[in-house]
Structure 1
């Protein structure tokens, strides 16, 4: 089975009070297509650093990251920007929608940045909004949406350019239990149905049964759930 996301021997450190603190210590991870992995760990364990490196937002001190078979460490800034736009779908705990754009415009902007044909983009918007139960909200502005609806728009936006990898950072943090489960179920379904690799950083143990694997970030490395 193909691994769409691979991190190999990732090491990263930062200075803390004049001391070098290693947050990732030869961390390795392989996520197969169709697989949904949860990563847990206490505050300060390096989860944000891990996700930033996986998402091509931060260069590791050492190690390699492969995305859909392509090594990305050391690529130029513009190449990394293109990879983030077309190969990675980011879902954050805050939807981060643009307040002056309607729902469909949020998605069309991503398509435009990715140079998607307009007819194809319109069809993709229609498909995603129907799938996520948002078609009746396509002309609504973010301040008119519920928290769950805003998070579903954020998921649609992350899926717009059909990325190889989905990265979710605490996607249920601002939602109640029912809406949180719905959001994670959508991420899991997208990974399974379209053969994506999905990684979710979370503290929410209620959603773990929806994941294929649960890993804990301890002492800079990922270990399986005990």
Structure 2
């Protein structure tokens, strides 16, 4: 089975008052096509660092990340930016929509940055908004939308360039239980229907039934269950 996201021997260290602090220690992860993996762990365990490295936003101190078979090792800042536009879709804690753009404009901007022609982009935006139940909100500004609507719009934006990999950082943290479940259900369905690899950092145990695997980050390593203390 094809792995669309691969992290090999990822190490990340920071200097803390002259002392080197290892956040991630030879961490490895392979996420298959159509698989949604949840990553849990205590505060300060390195989940944000892990997700930033998986998303080519932060370079590891050692190891490599491959997105759809393409290594990030040795790439320039511009090449990494292009790779993120082509291969990655991000969903954050808050929707992070641009306040002065309407919903459809948010999606069209992402497509333009990714080099998609306007006609094809408009067709894809319309399809995504319809699929996510936002067709009637295409001309709405973020401030006029509910929290659930904004998060669905953020998912549509993340899917606009048909990325190989989806990365979600606490996507339900600002939502009530019903809207949170809806958001993760959408992420899971899109992952399976379009053979993407998806990783979701979460504290919300209610959404775990939608995930194919649940991993725990502690002591710089990912494991299938919390490490004994």
Give the TM-score taking structure 2 as reference length.
Answer: 0.97
Structure 1: give runs of 5+ residues left out of the alignment: none
Distance in 2 between the 1:147 and 1:17 partners?
Answer: 40
- Secondary structure of the structure 2 residue equivalent to 1:206: helix
* Structure 2, gaps ≥5 residues long: none
Give the aligned partner of residue 54 of structure 1. Answer: 54
Q: Which residue number corresponds to residue 146 of structure 1?
A: 146
Q: Which residue of 2 aligns with 1:91?
A: 91
Structure 2 counterpart of 1:108: 108
The root-mean-square deviation of aligned C-alpha atoms, in Å, is 0.7
Q: Which residue of 2 aligns with 1:19?
A: 19
Question: Aligned ranges for residues 58-137 of structure 1 at < 5 Å?
Answer: 58-137=58-137
Other-structure match for 2:183: 183
Task: Name 1:199's counterpart in structure 2.
Answer: 199
CA-CA distance at 1:32 after TM superposition: 0.3
Alignment: residue pair count: 226
Alignment partner, residue 158 of structure 1:
158
Task: String of CA shifts for 1:100-122, please: whole Å, max 9, x gaps.
Answer: 10010000000111110111101
SS in 2 for 1:139: coil
How far apart, CA to CA, are the structure 2 residues paired with 1:34 and 1:116? Answer: 24
User: Match of 2:166, SS?
Assistant: strand
Q: What aligned pairs does 1:37-52 form with structure 2 within 5 A after superposition?
A: 37-52=37-52
Q: What secondary structure does 1:98 align onto?
A: coil
Deviation by residue 1:128-157 (Cα, 9 ceiling, x = unmatched): 000000000000011100000000000000
Give the structure 2 partner of residue 221 of structure 1.
221
**After TM superposition, which residue ranges in structure 1, 4 or more long, deviate above 4 angstroms?**
none
Deviation at 1:73, TM superposition (A): 2.0
> How big is the shift at 1:225?
2.9
Looking at structure 2, the residues matched to 195 and 104 of structure 1 have their Cα atoms a distance apart, in angstroms, of 25
Distance 2:157 2:54 in 1: 19
- Give the Cα separation in 1 of the matches to 2:66 and 2:196: 14
